[in-house]
Amino acid sequence: MSIIIKQGLVVDPSQGLRAIKDVLIENGKIVRIADCIIPGTSQAINAKGLVVMPGLVDMHAHLREPGREDKETIETATMAALAGGITSVLAMPNTTPCIDSAQAAGLLQKRIQKSAKANVFVAGALTKNRKGHALTDIEGLCNKSVLAFTDDGSSVDDEKLLSSAFDICRKTGVLIVCHCEDTALSAGGTVNRGFISTSMGLRGISKESEYKRVERDINIAESAQARIHIAHVSCAESVDVIRQAKAKGVKVTAETCPHYLMLCEDDVRGFDTNKKMNPPLRSCDDRNSLKRAVIDGVIDIVSTDHAPHTENEKDIEFERAAFGVIGLETMLPVTLTALYGNDSTDLTKIAQICSTGPARILGLKKGTLSAGSDADVVIFDPEREWMVEKRGIVSKSKNSAFLGMRLKGKVIFTILNGAVAYQA
């Protein structure tokens, strides 16, 4: 089977490419990019006026299977991913059972092979049952193709244990993704601590609970000379810590999420539980700092932190509602709406932070349109506006922070392994 994508604006940071081109796909691979390719018997996609990029890579998604299939499944999550132009996701290990053993990882891989509609890669738990008391068999999990390790949703309090984990991961060459939260400082909080939390009568979550733990975890990684990736950065102080560590040569990368680039604590005033997340939406100044950090490269990538919840877990009092929002279908349009055209951010930067960058961090042969690479491609209209509506959401859960909001940027086609997997 072959496809020619005709006359789209091809944007691929891995090749320094940004030009109107044709893209030829054959047998699941990118074959050639040229000014004009004669279609022949190939399926032709007219991409005039559209952008052609490597399929997006989301290295932070909660697929909920096994254990909470009432919220999401591997099948529904990957269908939602394709609707958002995401062709590869890294599944977090906080499932039931937790992905903390070779057996659990093997069973998950079988489920992925059976029902995934997009590429799914697996992150293993750093500690057994994510309790922070004993390390998992990191080497054994690596043999089950686990790409990274994290207790995401929890931070490892035990410094000696975390140091040992960094030592092992340095030797095995795998990445540790750190959820940075000191629960001694954040416990009981539901929104950012400050004027808004006080005016709403809610207990706040201090920024110290995040950036102090970012600083600690980076220092431990530096001592071990290991790689570290900081998940879902939400505040300016964490950005400063990461910037200083990078200047020292520490092997640190970092992500923020689209919702932190577009929303702030003011958006929580209406007690909308779909804007309750951990870490919480911070101040407008923090949002602006995160935007600058993405633009100047201190924040390497954006990831969704896709966290589906049922209506029973969200449609209740704010303080009792679950933390987290979905994001697979809105990752690209929210990032475009927040950054593209507003802060001199060009499409090459968008491709870098949504595709090429996360693929590089994970060591995946994704995020590129180079000849011979897997034909994972997203084709989108960067200017088309649309409204996020519950009825249009593909994900099993509907807890989007952007319901009723107009976004800019619409995915038209998603191509996976050389075949059209989604068409608007």
Distance CA 61, CA 164 (A): 26
Match 């349109």 to its residue by tokens: 369
Cite the active site residues. 305
Distance CA 279, CA 232 (A): 7
Residues with Cβ < 8 Å from 123, sequence gap 6 or more? 90, 91, 92, 93, 99, 146, 147, 148, 149, 150, 152, 177
Nearest residue to 205 (alpha-carbon basis) of 265, 154, 258, 158: 265
Radius of gyration, CA atoms only, the chain: 21
Residues with Cβ < 8 Å from 53, sequence gap 6 or more? 10, 11, 12, 85, 347, 350, 351, 354, 355, 369, 377, 378, 379, 380
Distance CA 409, CA 331 (A): 10
Full DSSP string of 345-395: B-HHHHHIIIIIHHHHHHT-S-S---TTSB--EEEEEEEEEEE--GGG--S
